[in-house]
Amino acid sequence: MLADEPRTKVFVFRLVLCWSRFRISRAVTLTTLPAVLADLGEALTRLGGVPRRLVFDNFKAAVLRPRPNLRLHPFFADFCAHYGVEPQPALPYSPQRKGKNERSFRDLEQSGLARQTYADLTALQAALDEADAEHARRLHSTTGETPAARLERERPFLGPLPEVAFDPRLPETRRVLSDCTLSYRGACYSVPYLLVGKRLTVKADLRTGLMEVFDGAELAASHRLVPGGQRVIVEEHIAPLRRPRSRPSPRRFTRQGPFPGRLARRAAAGQLATGLSRATPAHGVRPPDRGGGEMTELTLARVEEHCHRLGLPHLKAALGEALGRAEAEGWGQVQLLDRLLETELAAREERRIRTGLKLAAFPFLKTLDAFDFAFQPSLERARVMDLAALGFVARKENVLLLGPPGVGKTHLAIALAVRACQMGASVYFTSLDGMIRALREADGAGRLTQKLKTYTTKSQLLVVDEVGYLPLGSARGQLLLPGSDGALRALELDPDLE
DSSP 3-state of 42: helix
DSSP 3-state of 490: strand
pLDDT of residue 471: 60
pLDDT of residue 296: 59
The set of residues, in sequence order, having a beta carbon less than 8 Å from that of 48 and lying 6+ positions away, is: 155, 158, 161
pLDDT of residue 332: 81
- Domains of the chain listed by start with CATH number: 11-157 (3.30.420.10), 172-240 (no CATH), 300-351 (no CATH), 368-497 (3.40.50.300)
Displacement of CA 70 from its chain's centroid (Å): 22
> 90, 86, 100, 85: which is closest to 67 by C-alpha?
90
DSSP 3-state of 178: coil
Q: What is the DSSP pairing of strand 427-431 with strand 461-465?
A: parallel
pLDDT of residue 483: 38
User: What is the rounded CA–CA span in Å between residue 276 and residue 352?
Assistant: 53
pLDDT of residue 214: 94
Report yes or no on whether pTM surpasses 0.85. no
CB 408 within 8 A of CB 371: yes
The set of residues, in sequence order, having a beta carbon less than 8 Å from that of 342 and lying 6+ positions away, is: 177, 178
DSSP 3-state of 489: strand
Displacement of CA 204 from its chain's centroid (Å): 10
pLDDT of residue 182: 92
pLDDT of residue 93: 60
Q: What is the DSSP pairing of strand 53-57 with strand 23-28?
A: unpaired
- The DSSP code for 285 is P
For 231, how many CA atoms within 13 A lie in the half-sphere containing its CB? 13
Cβ count within 10 A of residue 310? 11
CB 39 within 8 A of CB 206: no
CA distances from 36 to 26, 130, 346 (A): 11, 22, 30
E-strand stretches of 176-287: 181-184, 187-190, 199-205, 210-215, 218-224, 231-232
Bridge partner list, 54: 87
Task: Classify each residue of 223-250 as buried b or exposed e, where b means 16 or more C-beta atoms within 10 Å of its C-beta.
Answer: bebbeeeeebeeeebbeeeeeeeeeeee
User: What is the rounded CA–CA span in Å between residue 496 and residue 477?
Assistant: 11
The DSSP line for 261-282 is THHHHHHHTT-S-TT--TTS-G
CB 13 within 8 A of CB 39: yes
pLDDT of residue 286: 39
pLDDT of residue 283: 37
The DSSP line for 410-458 is HHHHHHHHHHHHHTT--EEEEEHHHHHHHHHHHHHTT-HHHHHHHHTTS
CB 58 within 8 A of CB 91: yes
Degrees (nearest 5) of the Cα angle 454, 397, 463? 40
CA distances from 127 to 26, 42, 117, 453, 496 (A): 10, 18, 11, 59, 67
> 351, 427, 360, 365: which is closest to 75 by C-alpha?
365
> 166, 237, 164, 172: which is closest to 204 by C-alpha?
172
Q: What is the mean pLDDT of each run of 10 residues along the chain (498 residues)?
A: 75 87 88 88 90 82 75 87 86 60 70 80 88 89 88 90 88 88 90 90 90 92 90 88 58 42 44 36 39 54 78 80 79 82 83 85 84 78 83 85 81 88 86 80 80 78 77 48 37 31
Query: Exposed, middle or buried: residue 410 (CB in 10 Å: 0-12, 13-18, 19+)?
Result: buried
Cβ count within 10 A of residue 420? 21
CB 231 within 8 A of CB 187: yes
CA distances from 283 to 271, 273, 275, 411 (A): 12, 10, 14, 69
